[in-house]
Amino acid sequence: MNNLLSNEQLWWYVARSGGITALVLTGLSVIWGLALSTKVMQGTPKPKWLLSLHRWLGGLSVTFSAVHIAALVADSYVSFGLTDILVPYASDWKPGAVAWGIVSMYLLVAVQASSMLMKRLPRRFWKGIHMSSWLLFWSGVIHGATAGTDATNPIYVLLVGTITVLITWLTGVRILASRSARRIVRPQPMSTGAVG
């Protein structure tokens, strides 16, 4: 048991669990945001706590991403410096896989910062940044699949697979709903014929 919890292994376990937790929380936040913005929750009351839960999940994603990154820096198995965790392709260890994680980190920071500044940003600008949440989740999935040592674990695969299916389905619902809304809103051409 002592050997299992040596400092090297402890940081590795913290890095792995922090990364997995961050990915799951990001996925849940995206699911919750899509559910709130689609007709899936139509007919149910949308009290403020539902939006607060969405924001809370996003905030926890940031927290666990920070845990993941800090543990990677603290771990001595692979030496990660600031450049390795901030600049894509700077790492000697799986540079492509790490780059996906760095992209995810920057997208997460952008989405969370824009959410905190939502009332001060133009709506269209905020919405554009917030829509990158979808890319954030997918870059996190690619990072986990290419860098994560748990990528083939059946529980991990089932969990991430389920979240992926839900996000894909809700994204489809959102796209179809927005197309329907655009068709309804389009003005009808005026008739030029004389009324007799």
pLDDT in tens, the chain (196 residues): 455 555 568 998 999 999 999 999 999 999 998 888 876 766 666 667 778 888 999 999 999 999 999 999 998 888 899 999 999 999 999 999 999 999 999 999 999 999 999 999 999 999 999 999 999 999 999 999 999 889 999 999 999 999 999 999 999 988 887 776 666 555 555 555 544 4
- Domain assignment of residue 160, yes or no: yes
Residue 122, C-beta contacts closer than 8 angstroms, at least 6 positions apart:
none
- Domain assignment of residue 1, yes or no: no
- Domain assignment of residue 16, yes or no: yes
Which domain range does residue 115 map to?
A: 7-185
Burial class of residue 98, CB neighbours in 10 A (0-12, 13-18, 19+): buried
| Closest to 64 in 3D by CA, of 29, 115, 114 | 29
- Domain assignment of residue 70, yes or no: yes
pLDDT for the residue 28: 96
pLDDT for the residue 52: 87
- Domain assignment of residue 194, yes or no: no
- Domain assignment of residue 192, yes or no: no
Residues 137, 27 contacting (CB under 8 angstroms): yes
Q: Give me the number of domains the chain comprises.
A: 1
- Domain assignment of residue 190, yes or no: no
pLDDT for the residue 37: 81
Amino acid (one-letter) located at 141:
V
The pTM score is 0.84
pLDDT for the residue 196: 46
pLDDT for the residue 122: 93
- Domain assignment of residue 77, yes or no: yes
pLDDT for the residue 192: 52
pLDDT for the residue 195: 47
